[in-house]
Structure 1
């Protein structure tokens, strides 16, 4: 009897320890707000990838810095800024392209779900050696 109780206690302890150390399997899909509150992006499935488009801007404007002159008059609302993100070897991280409307350039990009309500978005140059980004919060 004591052996059964001890075995049950050890099993329960192992389950609790395993649960506490397992990382969460995150879902990056949803609506995200930039830290300065100036814009919102919706991450959703696009085929087997994740993509994200601008769904709200505090100050709506056109895509004036786009390298394609034909697109400079289009509103930024609805523009896909996170493109074709595929899972990497790192859990809760995806790699693809990020369009930066501030300078009109598209960069190699990463999104990483750092918690259930925090999404780190980065654009990188030089093969990923230099990256710049920010952490967006899930809209509640």
Structure 2
């Protein structure tokens, strides 16, 4: 009887740990931004989540060169290409409200960085809320999972 109880407790522990891990990792994958002109790959590094641009609908500028991060306020970063740019940084999964928070999002179109929260509406739609200071003052875009 004791062995059965111990086995059941161990099995429950691994089930809960596995569920929490899959819940946190549910955000991993490739997403279209709201305009569907970029794909962002979200991935885990350590215990945090990041996202980088892996595809652009129009990757070249008018001169036929790769688009650069020319709106960046840091002159040393203006030569980076947009494709491959890490735009989501340092998100932590909060099991209490099933959101990824404490991260930032960089907008290469404006060169601005915002605080950000990520919330899965369902397995194929991600709410991306960028804000300054307080989440109430901000904007939410919906990203769509790609195949």
TM-score (normalised: structure 2): 0.74
In the alignment, the residues of structure 2 paired with residue 28 and residue 47 of structure 1 have an alpha-carbon distance, to the nearest angstrom, of 15
Q: Give matches, 1:35-114, under 5 Å.
A: 35-60=34-59, 61-88=67-94, 89-91=96-98, 93-95=99-101, 96-114=103-121
Distance 1:106 1:78, change over 3 A: same
Count of residue pairs the alignment pairs up: 116
Residue 71 of structure 1 deviates from its aligned partner by 1.0
Aligned to 2:64: none
Distance 1:35 1:127 in 2: 22
Give the corresponding residue for 2:32: 33
Q: Residues 102 and 133 (structure 1 numbering): CA distance in 2 closer, same or farther, change over 3 Å?
A: farther
Q: 1:8 matched to which residue of 2?
A: none
Structure 1, gaps ≥5 residues long: 1-23
> Which stretch shifts more, 109-118 or 124-133?
124-133
Gaps of 5+ in 2: 1-21, 60-66
Give distance in 1, aligned partners of 2:134 and 2:33.
25
**Structure of larger gyration radius:** 1
CA distance in 2, matches of 1:29, 1:126: 26
CA shift, 1:107, in A, is 0.9
1:119 lines up with 2:118 in the alignment: no
Selected match of 1:130 from 119, 134, 137: 137
Name the counterpart of 1:6: none
SS in 1 for 2:109: coil
